[in-house]
Amino acid sequence: MRGQGLGARLAALVAVGVLAGACTAGGSSPTPTTAAIRTASPTATPAPTEVPPDQVTGSLTVLDWSGYEQEMFWQDFKNTYKHASVAFEFGNSDAEQFTKMKAGSQADVFHPYTGWLQFYVDEGLVAEIDTTRLKNWSKVPDSFKAIGQINGKQYFVPWDWGFTSILYRTDKIASVDSWTALLDPKYKGHVSMWDDGPGAVTVSSYIHGYDETKITPDQLASIKQEWTDQAKLNRTYWSGETQLTPLVQSGEVWLAYAWQGAYATLLGEGVPVAYANPKEGRNSWVGVYGIRKDSPNYDLALRFLDAKLGTLTGNNLVTNYYYGSANGEVMAGITDPTLKQAFSVDDPTILSKTNFTPNLTAEQRDAWTAMWTEVKASQ
């Protein structure tokens, strides 16, 4: 999950102040510069005569993560374009989505996360975004816009963002202060790890102080052994939050690698859970949408991405999935205590304790994914 370099993402989330700070008035920040943002927009194409929304027709296919097909997560588009249709295909990991797009998926729109964006540009799979045709673009903080830029061009529209940390049941575990808890034998049979090789490498790099962008073959071998040993402790691997939350709620899982959406869901249901601030730092990620380069439905796809940034859709994302919205006005309006707790609104130091997902190289992606396949095969 979860692009430009590490610095761009750090600037992005610092600028947002996680929630309320930079989101209130456009969220501009010193880095990247306004000039850099301007140069990222493609040369504006002559806009066709505006077709009234009720006369817009056509169909889109969206490659997305399971759950986002629910109408509430594209409600503005549904409400505005009543004669257009949307169909969904699913890829529940970045690796799966990239593999499908590279293999020739005819999805018009797709939903990757930071760390994977460069691949789509390098493979010629993604179209440049004409942001002059996005009516909600001004609501996105400049530094969030920068996340979707590759080589000075806007290829992606940011949409969702959040944290990764350790979720645990406070009636089973007194406290958690390190990512090493996922490897602790005393929790055998009650741990759940995300089913993702790069995610596992990230955790190990935090624990051992490795440079995540420069993992050596020896370090990767050590990481493989670490997670092979951890597999004996693992209750199950999860790929979507709807798999994880029932296990925590039932008490089968006491401790898990988790996104903050699972934490907020369980918190709202009265389950005794906490979301750790590990001494090594939390992880953070940003999700974006791109348009397939040769899509015959570019205009309709632009309308879809613009509507994704709409207020109703953004509010639905925040209040139902507990993920942050790239619409700064939506984030500035958060008042619900559960949401404020989930986003650590009242902890001004949270970002200083957060690690941001760096870009992977193709070699790293392939090696880390192969490593994870071997880990799971060893069970």
Where does the pLDDT of residue 1 fall: very low under 50, low under 70, confident under 90, or very high at 90 and above? very low
pLDDT digits (tens, 9 = 90+) for 63-97: 999 889 999 999 999 999 999 999 999 998 888 99
Q: Is the pLDDT of residue 7 over 80?
A: no
Q: What is the mean pLDDT of residues 360-369?
A: 89
Angle at which helix 241-250 crosses helix 260-268, to 10 degrees, equals: 40
Quickly tell me which residue has 């500035």 as its tokens: 332
Where does the pLDDT of residue 345 fall: very low under 50, low under 70, confident under 90, or very high at 90 and above? low
Q: Is the pLDDT of residue 36 over 60?
A: no
Q: Is 27 left (phi over 0), alpha (psi -120 to 50) or beta?
A: left
- Select the more confidently predicted residue: 13 or 132: 132
The number of helices, as runs of H, and strands, as runs of E, in the chain is: 15, 13
User: Which range has the worst mean pLDDT, 17-26, 131-140, 321-330?
Assistant: 17-26
User: Which range has the worst mean pLDDT, 74-88, 210-224, 263-277, 355-369?
Assistant: 355-369
pLDDT digits (tens, 9 = 90+) for 95-122: 899 999 999 999 999 999 988 999 999 9
| 190 neighbors 171 (Cβ within 8 angstroms) | no
pTM of this structure: 0.72
Q: Is the pLDDT of residue 351 over 70?
A: no
- Give the 3-state DSSP-derived string for 37-79, with helices as H, strands as E and coil as C: HHHHCCCCCCCCCCCCHHHCCEEEEEEECCCCCCHHHHHHHHH
Q: How far apart, in whole angstroms, are the C-alpha atoms of residue 241 and residue 259?
A: 8
Asked if the bond preceding 32 is cis, omega within 30° of 0, the reply is yes
Sorted by where each starts, the structural domains of the chain and their CATH numbers stand as: 6-161+285-354 (3.40.190.10), 164-283+362-377 (3.40.190.10)
Where does the pLDDT of residue 149 fall: very low under 50, low under 70, confident under 90, or very high at 90 and above? very high
pLDDT digits (tens, 9 = 90+) for 297-344: 999 999 999 999 999 999 999 988 888 899 989 988 888 887 877 777
